[in-house]
Structure 1
Amino acid sequence: MASSLPLPLNPNSPQIPRHSSTPTSSTSSSSIRCLAVTLGVGIGVGLAVAPHLAKQRNWVAQSLRDVCAQRKRAPSYFWGPLACLSLATEVSQMEKTKTTVEPNTGVSFPSVFYETKQLAGVGVRKKSILGLKNINVYAFGVYVDENSLKEKLVDKYGKMSVTELKDSKEFYEDVIGNDLSLTVRLEIVYGKLSIGSVRSAFEESIGSRLQKFSGSQNKELLQRFTSQFKDDHKLPRGTKIHITRFPGHILQTKIDEKEVGSIQSQLLCRSLFDLYIGEDPLDKQAKEKIGVGLASLLSQ
């Protein structure tokens, strides 16, 4: 069926030449070469970005077969760029849906959080009962904004190796003390945890760090933070608590994505994140993994 083109406003103006629906042998050969090069670049980029994705090669192979089949029904110049765009989109989506599992609890943490936050590492908060048994209270993941991390620390640490950084006390202190964007994501795994227990745990752990860093108890500041965990909040298994440092040393707390409070205090921010990557962390193995994650992001 012949296709129609809109008539030009000026009948004397030159007509746009129509393309034949059947390409010449030279055009077809050139198109195939362009298609192969274009797809090769797209596939190379995709595989370099996500070499760990086990199903990707099968997906790419199927995409190539689909592209070759579709090439017979449409102009060849159309399918090469479309295939690359589709492949890049697929790889991007796979990256966003990647997760890391905390091995002690089985809790999964997304590798990307709030669009820009990268997962540095995961761990677990355990509590001893009468000195006889340890229970898993919550799993946690520490996230960092890569741009914020580099902006604050790349000049000082950019040339150091991952091994050097993960063992550097000064590096952790700078991550904790600088006004860079950090989030700790907690997921409750102990089904009988009460909000009162959470308040008491933070009063003890953060209270001791406020004292350590400032030389005083800072009872008012501690009370402002712990009072965010009100009695009407229920904490069934699976509840998620997000505590984020925003620019200006503003510490925001959310329970299941509902904001329960924000406090501006460099001392409080430092004390909170010291729980996870400070000198005496809640999970020492997790601190090392988080350190490797932070150092790896900084060196990229």
Structure 2
Amino acid sequence: MDPHQLRTYVTVARLASFSEAARELGYTQSAVSQHIAALEQDLGAPLLTRRPVAPTAAGERLLEHAGPLLLRLDAARADVVRMAAAPQQGLTLATTPTALGAGVLAVLPPAGVILRVLTRAQIPAAVATGAADLGLVDGLAAPSDPLRLPDVAPLTTLGIAEEPVSVLLPAGHPLATRPGLRLDDLADARWLDAPDAALPLDQLRAATGGGAFRPALRYEGTDLRTLTALASAGHGLTLLPRATATAVPGTVAVPLTAPRVVHRTELVHGGSLGGAAAEVVRKVVGRKVVGRV
């Protein structure tokens, strides 16, 4: 299977247009049509209907494979280029909004740093493809257990911090005076579904072996101030690292007492490091910051 043809197919399927795909890829429309025809001949199955342009059943199945395949190719290219290239003086760090309190900020270079706030799903891919030198990912986990990250490429992960978590409630909420809360008691509460800002609801469900955790409002963003404003206004509860949840105006942060889970942060990098990225990893390892946040 030709990766160029596969990339063309993914682009046509995403844009639902041969002409738009040609413009995005810098090909002629005829070349795009030839790529699709050659791929369909290679696989022995039609992949797209033409009017309208949409994946067939076989095309949908190919799309399930295409993303990981193309990402692996991009990751392999980036890894080889990193090995051959001279070490860069600058550093690009990709992070979630709730991972920044993990002690890495103290060891960043004084200049030449680009900080990108991305979603949890985007960070491993950004590191694998060279869009970021290092990544900070976080989530709920049992103490000392590693996070479950997508298998996008061979990446090295280093656990760098664990801290307790708190439930963020409006100041007038009936549970705001409790000394601690159990997730089982909150499964039927109104929750904010903010997968890229708070700790995701699917991780709450996994921590309790199920539970409804019904979202009252979905927030598709990464800004913590917006998230906490929604919680303060009574639109739903949210779960945050203890340090992040503390001292938010109009809210109360109540510690989560059961199940025994922590907010875990891991540093992610590719196989070969040099320059500023290697120095940051060396300092992080030397600080041994797990459990100290």
Query: TM-score if structure 1 supplies the norm length?
Result: 0.23
- Bigger fraction of residues in helix: 1
Greater RCO, CA 8 A, separation 6+: 2
Q: Which has the larger radius of gyration?
A: 1
